[in-house]
């Protein structure tokens, strides 16, 4: 399934997701919003890349655990949300707050072909490799 585009306003910080594309530009604060390009890397070498663990129909996503320590979850620097995208079109997202664990567990009907994205307030959007 194609992932939905996420945009951020560089003026006010608003973040939106486009569920159905329309006009080419999305305007906020009088200027086009910036498309958040999903970054990716090997999860074993980059703390932002979602690490997917599957056990039966339970899917657990960890952020940063591969580097030995979880991603920070402070007021200044935290993972805002973790989501999974299933091949049959389901989207599941958990919103996090500073102080939470940078981790989410989801139950799905069929874990085959699952991908994951997360959004760090400082380092942007990351996609599972």
| Gap between the Cα atoms of 24 and 91, Å rounded | 24
The yes or no reply on residue 123 touching Fe ion (CB under 5 A) is: yes
CB of 48 to Fe ion, least distance (A): 6
Which C-beta is closer to Fe ion: that of 47 or that of 86? 47
Nearer to Fe ion, 23 or 122 (CB): 122
**Residue placing its CB nearer to Fe ion in the complex, 111 or 126:** 126
Angular region, 68: left φ>0, alpha ψ -120 to 50, beta rest: left
Smallest separation, CB 71 to Fe ion (Å) = 6
Of the candidates 120, 125, 127, 128, which one interacts with Fe ion according to CB under 5 A? 120
User: Between 65 and 104, how does the x/- string for binding to Fe ion read (CB under 5 A)?
Assistant: ----------------------------------------
Nearest residue (CB) to Fe ion, 93 versus 123: 123
What element of type H or E holds 21?
Answer: none
Using CA atoms, how far residue 98 sits from 72, 81, 103, 121, in Å, is 8, 11, 12, 11
- String of b and e for 91-105 (b: at least 16 CB within 10 Å)? ebebebeeeeebbbe
**Taking the complex as a whole, how short is the minimal distance between the CB of residue 99 and Fe ion, in angstroms?**
15
Residues 6+ apart with CB under 8 A from 85: 1, 3, 91, 114, 115, 116, 117
For Fe ion, the binding residues (CB under 5 A) are: 120, 122-123
């Amino acid at each position: 399934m194609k992932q939905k585009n996420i945009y951020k306003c560089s003026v006010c910080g608003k973040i939106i997701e486009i569920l159905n594309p329309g006009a080419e530009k999305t305007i906020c604060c009088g200027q086009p919003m910036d498309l958040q390009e999903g970054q990716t890397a090997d999860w074993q070498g980059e703390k932002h890349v979602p690490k997917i663990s599957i056990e039966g129909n339970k899917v657990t996503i960890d952020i940063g655990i591969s580097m030995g320590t979880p991603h920070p979850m402070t007021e200044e620097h935290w993972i805002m949300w973790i989501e999974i995208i299933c091949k049959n079109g389901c989207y599941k997202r958990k919103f996090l707050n500073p102080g939470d664990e940078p981790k989410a567990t989801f139950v799905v009907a069929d874990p085959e072909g699952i991908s994951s994205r997360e959004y760090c307030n400082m380092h942007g959007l990351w996609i599972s490799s």
